[in-house]
């Protein structure tokens, strides 16, 4: 079996499962945020439920419109807060300790290798970077899981993506996944588990692994996953709240497809509007003048992302009339960046630094685009109107490219800024 099939079989109480099979599994974590959880809570009550299945396993994170941007968002977050109090949830994260959910849960040790995790947010697939099966579900499925501790799935087929070769100095996990999506399209892995492997993946740190799995959904994937190794163990040791289980795929496991890429041929990628698959290497971007840069999100708001951006911004200034927003994904990342002096670099360059929030990524707050404006963002989606006005444009890139673009006022390679 593949790693995905092994995890699902274990959680279904079965010796093995096959692609296409409908199974019921128990879940290790059921996650909701301030957009999706209020709907789940309403369905929870409509079902007549009184208590969640496990106060340690239901996690609520108000991060999308938090800190509250208006009365409506305040009411949404209040629903989470009151439910968390009523149910005495162990893992409810208020503003001040809150982070972007998919950066926060791994950091806090709430997700461990071998888990099955569902979340009422499409980028729940992030946790595959730890060697867990994780996927987004609807709010009603979340409600059912909060009551029963179970969820049902059709076992997905798996696709294997083998990355060989040595990436260039400004190429990171964001580029590898953008390149992959550009090659197979936004439905190229529809309802499949995307398994990332190969020597280049082995050399990636945990932040880049989480980034790659985060964007599996942008290729239509049911999940993304990377088999755990010494990097994984180094990350989870000392933080895991439960005992990890380390699965790997069998050598004779069956895959719907196997694709191999040479990382030496991959340059930093930019996804043009209005699809994550509309990718071009940085050398073929041309002259694209921009108005805003966003460095953050559940995709690229971790400490290594901020370090890469700071390396480009140090000693430089953000171009006049360009806004550069830097959003650490959790309070711990915020604290680490502060300790390392990264905030001095960002502030000296003319950036605005924010408390953790998803705000601009979904066009919620903290960086809305006006008509005709263009943004370079380290986020995961660039659909029409994603970050504001329907006639605005979002270009996806890695943190170094985003920082270089902020300095030059146009989409730019870090090589143009850092000698």
Neighbours of 95 (CB within 10 A): 15
pLDDT tens digits for range 240-256: 999 999 999 999 999 99
Q: What pLDDT does residue 419 have? A: 76
Query: 304 — phi, psi (to 5°)?
Result: -65, -30
Right CATH for 270-416 from 3.40.50.10490, 3.40.50.2300, 3.30.499.10, 3.40.50.300: 3.30.499.10
Average pLDDT over residues 205-219: 97
As beta bridge partners, residue 225 has 195
Residues near 281 by Cβ (< 8 Å), separated by ≥ 6? 266, 267, 268, 269, 270
**Mean pLDDT for all residues in the chain:** 96
pLDDT tens digits for range 4-59: 999 999 999 999 999 999 999 999 999 999 999 999 999 999 999 999 999 999 99
Closest CA to 367 of 330, 400, 325, 404: 325
Residues near 209 by Cβ (< 8 Å), separated by ≥ 6? 129, 130, 173, 196, 201, 226, 231
Angle, helices 303-313/399-408, rounded to nearest 10 degrees: 30
Q: What pLDDT does residue 331 have? A: 96
pLDDT tens digits for range 168-185: 989 999 999 999 999 999
% of the chain with per-residue pLDDT over 90: 99
Question: How far apart, in whole angstroms, are the C-alpha atoms of residue 241 and residue 346?
Answer: 34
Contact 173, 208 (CB under 8 A): yes
Q: What pLDDT does residue 305 have? A: 98
pLDDT class for 157, splitting at 50, 70, 90?
A: very high
pLDDT class for 145, splitting at 50, 70, 90?
A: very high
Average pLDDT over residues 130-136: 97
Percentage helix, strand, coil, to 5, in the chain? 35, 20, 45
Q: What pLDDT does residue 280 have? A: 96
Give domain limits for the chain: 3-261, 270-416
Average pLDDT over residues 322-335: 97
Q: Do domains 3-261 and 270-416 have the same CATH topology?
A: yes
- The count of residues in the chain is 419
Pairing of strands 116-119, 157-164: unpaired
- For residue 105, pLDDT over 80 is answered with yes
Average pLDDT over residues 71-82: 96
Closest CA to 276 of 411, 370, 134, 384: 384
Has this prediction a pTM greater than 0.75? Answer: yes
Average pLDDT over residues 51-79: 95
Residue appearing with tokens 């995790």: 117
E strand or H helix at 338: helix 331-339
Right CATH for 3-261 from 3.10.290.20, 3.30.499.10, 3.40.50.720, 3.30.1600.10: 3.30.499.10
Q: What pLDDT does residue 156 have? A: 97
């Amino acid at each position: 079996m593949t790693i995905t099939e092994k995890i699902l079989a274990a959680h279904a109480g079965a010796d093995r499962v096959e692609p296409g099979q409908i199974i019921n599994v128990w879940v290790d974590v059921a996650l909701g945020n301030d957009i999706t959880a209020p709907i789940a809570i309403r369905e929870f009550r409509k079902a007549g439920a009184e208590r969640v299945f496990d106060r340690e396993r239901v996690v609520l994170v108000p991060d999308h419109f938090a800190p509250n941007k208006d009365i409506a968002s305040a009411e949404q977050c209040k629903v989470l807060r009151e439910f968390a109090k009523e149910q005495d949830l162990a893992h409810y994260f208020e503003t001040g300790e809150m982070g972007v959910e998919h950066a926060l849960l791994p950091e806090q040790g709430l997700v461990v290798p071998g888990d099955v995790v569902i979340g009422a947010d499409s980028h729940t697939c992030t946790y595959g970077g730890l060697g867990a099966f994780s996927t987004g579900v609807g709010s009603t499925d979340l409600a059912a899981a909060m009551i029963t501790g179970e969820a049902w799935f059709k076992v997905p087929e798996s696709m294997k993506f083998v990355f060989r070769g040595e990436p260039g100095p400004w190429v990171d996990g964001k580029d590898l996944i953008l390149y992959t999506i550009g090659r197979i399209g936004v439905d190229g892995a529809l309802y499949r588990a995307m398994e990332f492997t190969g020597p280049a993946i082995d050399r990636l740190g945990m932040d880049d692994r989480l980034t790659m799995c985060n964007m599996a959904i942008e290729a239509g994937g049911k999940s993304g996953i990377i088999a755990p190794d010494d990097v994984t163990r180094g990350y989870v040791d000392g933080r895991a709240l439960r005992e990890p289980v380390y699965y790997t795929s069998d050598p004779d496991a069956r895959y719907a497809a196997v694709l191999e890429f040479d990382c030496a041929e991959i340059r930093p990628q930019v996804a043009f509007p209005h699809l994550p698959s509309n990718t071009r290497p940085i050398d073929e971007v041309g002259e694209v003048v921009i108005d805003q840069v966003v460095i953050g999100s559940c995709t690229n708001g971790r400490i290594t992302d901020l370090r890469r951006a700071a390396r480009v911004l140090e000693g430089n200034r953000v171009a006049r009339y360009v806004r550069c927003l830097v959003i650490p994904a959790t309070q711990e990342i915020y604290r680490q960046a502060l300790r390392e002096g990264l905030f001095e670099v960002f502030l000296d360059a003319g950036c605005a630094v924010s408390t953790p929030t998803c705000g601009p990524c979904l066009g919620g707050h903290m960086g809305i685009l006006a008509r005709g404006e263009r943004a370079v963002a380290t986020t995961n989606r660039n659909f029409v109107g994603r970050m504001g006005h329907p006639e605005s444009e979002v270009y996806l890139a890695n943190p170094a490219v985003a920082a270089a673009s902020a300095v030059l006022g146009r989409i730019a390679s870090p090589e143009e800024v850092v000698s």
